[in-house]
Structure 1
Amino acid sequence: MLSGPSGFLGKLDKPKLAVAISNFKKYHRNYLYVMLQTSWKKLGNLWKALFEQRDQLMAFSRVLDQKLALIAERLEVSLAKVREVCLLHRKQPTSIAYWE
């Protein structure tokens, strides 16, 4: 896939890095374009998947908010207090943050 002269350049400080980039562009130009096209396509697929999952995540969030509101109503406390307890429950009882 990658062919052309190669050599170990050692530590890539600015001048050597410039040579490495120049060599890559010179000998692997076609591969660079293929790599960019492939990456762009993968990014598009990722964006599409995230967009499709967004609706599911928002629906889950609404259900969770409704359930937390019901708990707050039944216990006659504020929704903020219920949320605080949920966050506290995530912490380990042995952690300092749990007891703050």
Structure 2
Amino acid sequence: MSAKSETPNPETPGALWRRNLPVWAALMALLALSAWAAYWPFGRIDTALGFAIAGVKTALVALVFMQLKHASGLVRIVAACGLFWAAILFTLTLADVLSRMVNR
């Protein structure tokens, strides 16, 4: 009886470049878009546009570079908990800022 060793198949450098280069280019384009949007007067939609761009960048990093698409269930749960905690921090920060604006 032969025991098969389950070693992960390392990707070749060419395969890594083919996978990561388009994602890097997309992240650079989104960076340019967010910098452009920061100086363009969109009015009330500025914040929503910034959060949407940040969400797309976060999804790209999580799915491609962190490889959450192929990760185990526990790793996915830990990543989801991190996002949940970040949402709590954003909510508390926004509540503080909005409460200070009311007292003016």
Mark the structure with the bigger radius of gyration.
1
- TM-score of the two chains, using structure 2 as the length reference: 0.35
- TM-score of the two chains, using structure 1 as the length reference: 0.36
Higher RCO (CA < 8 A, seq sep 6+): 2
